[in-house]
Amino acid sequence: MSLKGKTAVITGSNSGIGLGIAHELARAGADIVLNSFTDADEDHQLAADMATEHGVTVRYIQADMSKGDQCRALIEKAGSCDILVNNAGIQHVAPIDEFPVAKWDAIIAINLSSAFHTTAAALPMMRKAGWGRVVNISSAHGLTASPFKSAYIAAKHGVIGLTKTTALETAEQPITANAICPGYVLTPLVEAQIPDTMEKYGMGRDEVIKKVMLERQPSREFATVEQLGGTTVFLCSDAAAQITGTTISVDGGWTAL
């Protein structure tokens, strides 16, 4: 599968799943636009290193996905957008009646509304190019719920609704829109929680991973950023041309329970 000549914009891609997806799309030949809200030397170095590793063009464009105008500006600055991966996301955990309003607003803005803005800006480019792929990173929490994650779960369910509508509005064009629903993925964010959890439960690393973190994931294995990248590349392939408006779970059986 070659994505040579295609430009992929991945929001929130200077770490974790977004970075993993960017690597796999670059490995498949796509030119890459990396993004986050920071504008550090490391962000631009990440882009330079990825370009060298895969022999493709990689740019880093700073844009805050909590701001609608910056979401749209990201796509405009990219200049073309054949593949749009809406990945940027944050989390906050609290009961509904104690949930800080500012956290609710930020999660809805970054995890849901950003995908509306980037999609609105990218679809005209995809229609003009005569080809496009929208890949929205939802979650197992886009299909199921857990307590204390109201904003995240509302946003991730919303992303699936947006995905279906995008698919219907592009169904007669060579454009698809799908959502990937990961279970637990060992990103730096998750890795950082392991030492504290080991201390809290008096358990070793493997026990914490299997009995605490992966309690709801029947495989008792993390999904990897490479697997999510591979799933994204598949959705960009010709084999997936008739897959649109649906979800693909990469969750070790979580949503089969």
252 binds ligand NAD (CB under 6 A): no
Question: Please, are residues 51 and 24 in contact by the beta-carbon 8 Å criterion?
Answer: no
Question: Please, are residues 179 and 163 in contact by the beta-carbon 8 Å criterion?
Answer: yes
**How many residues sit close enough to ligand NAD to count as binding (CB under 6 A)?**
27
Which range, of 42-50, 59-67, 118-126, 210-218, touches ligand NAD by CB under 6 A?
A: 59-67
Q: How far apart are CA 22 and CA 2, in angstroms?
A: 14
Which range, of 63-71, 97-105, 204-212, 240-248, touches ligand NAD by CB under 6 A?
A: 63-71
Give the dihedral sign, CA 7/9/13/18: negative
Binding mask 179-198 for ligand NAD (x = CB under 6 A): ---x-xx-xxxx--------
3-class DSSP assignment, residue 69: helix
Q: How far apart are CA 108 and CA 247, in angstroms?
A: 20
- Half-sphere CA count of 212, side-chain side, radius 13 A: 18
Least distance (Å) from ligand NAD to the CB of residue 252? 11
**Choice from 3, 7, 8, 18 touching ligand NAD (CB under 6 A):** 18
Give the position of tokens 């279906």: 164
Least distance (Å) from ligand NAD to the CB of residue 184? 5
**Choice from 21, 24, 36, 75 touching ligand NAD (CB under 6 A):** 36
How far the first Cα of the chain sits from its last, in Å, is 33
135 binds ligand NAD (CB under 6 A): no
Q: How far apart are CA 133 and CA 149, in angstroms?
A: 29
What is the separation of C-alpha 118 from the centre of its chain, rounded to a whole number of angstroms?
13
Nearer to ligand NAD, 132 or 229 (CB): 229
Least distance (Å) from ligand NAD to the CB of residue 150? 14
Residue numbers annotated as active site: 152
Question: Please, are residues 201 and 215 in contact by the beta-carbon 8 Å criterion?
Answer: no
64 binds ligand NAD (CB under 6 A): yes
**Choice from 29, 37, 103, 240 touching ligand NAD (CB under 6 A):** 37
Burial state string for 119-142 with b = 16 or more CB within 10 A and e = fewer than 16: bebbbebbeeeebbbbbbbbbbbb
Nearer to ligand NAD, 87 or 247 (CB): 87
Nearer to ligand NAD, 125 or 153 (CB): 153
Nearer to ligand NAD, 93 or 171 (CB): 93
28 binds ligand NAD (CB under 6 A): no
Binding-site ranges for ligand NAD (CB under 6 A):
12-18, 36-37, 64-66, 87-90, 110-111, 137, 139, 182, 184-185, 187-190
